[in-house]
Amino acid sequence: MKKDELHRLNCFVENKPGVLARIVGLISGRGYNIQTLSVGPTEDGTVSRMKIDVLGNDSVINQIILQLRNQVNVIEVTSRRKS
């Protein structure tokens, strides 16, 4: 079992109702705890940026990213290790 590390996910999403709930639900519904979450506008008012800190090993984080990218309103997701 690889060890859990803190990852920062940067998500650019369409600014539409329900998007935050869908993303948070996707992460928490799989039993992973969000440590920090912030959502704000970008210069383009139709796009929001979410910064999500999640604890997990690389394969878990990778799976979360792929699932996030599958979401209809998610434009892009990147991640980096925070340590």
Partner 1 sequence: MKKENKKTGAQVLVDSLAKAGTKVLFGYPGGTVLDIFNCLPEAPFQFVLGRHEQGCAHMADGYARATGRVGVCLVTSGPGATNTVTGLATANMDGIPLVCITGQVPLDYIGTDAFQEADVCGICRAVTKHTFLVKSADEIPETVAEAFYIASHGKPGPVVIDVPKNVQRELTSAQYPERVSLRAYHPESMATATQMAKLAKLINEAKRPVIYAGGGVIASGAAKDVAQLAEKAQIPVATTMMGLGAFDENNPLSLRMAGMHGNAAANYAINKTDLLIALGVRFNDRITGQLSKYARNAKIIHVDCDPASISKNVHTHLGIVADVKDVLTTVNSRIKTAEHKEWLAEIGEWKKKYPVSYRKMHENVIMPQQVIEAIDKHSKGEAVIVTDVGQNQMWSAQFFRHNLPRHFISSGGMGTMGFGIPAAIGAAFGNDSSKIVCVCGDGGAQMTFEEVVVAVEHKLPIVFVVINNGCLGMVRQWQELFYSKRYSGSILTVKDRLANERLEQDLNYDYLPDIVKLAQAHGANAMRVIDPAKLDSTIAKAIASNKTTLIEVIVEPRANVYPMQPGGQPVESMIFE
Q: Does 72 bind partner 1 (CB under 8 A)?
A: yes
User: Is 11 within 8 Å of 49 (Cβ atoms)?
Assistant: yes
Chain positions 8 to 37 lying near partner 1, rule: CB under 8 A, are 13-14, 17-18, 21-22, 25, 29
CB 78 to partner 1: min, Å: 15
Which window, 2-10, 34-42, 49-57, 62-70, contacts partner 1 (CB under 8 A)? 62-70
**Residue whose token pair is 């979360």:** 64
Q: Does 74 bind partner 1 (CB under 8 A)?
A: yes
Q: What is the DSSP string of 23-71?
A: HHHHHHTTT--EEEEEEEE-SSTTEEEEEEEEEE-HHHHHHHHHHHHTS
Q: What is the DSSP string of 5-21?
A: EEEEEEEEEE--TTHHH
Q: Does 1 bind partner 1 (CB under 8 A)?
A: no
Chain positions contacting partner 1, by CB under 8 A: 13-14, 17-18, 21-22, 25, 29, 59, 62-63, 66-67, 69-75
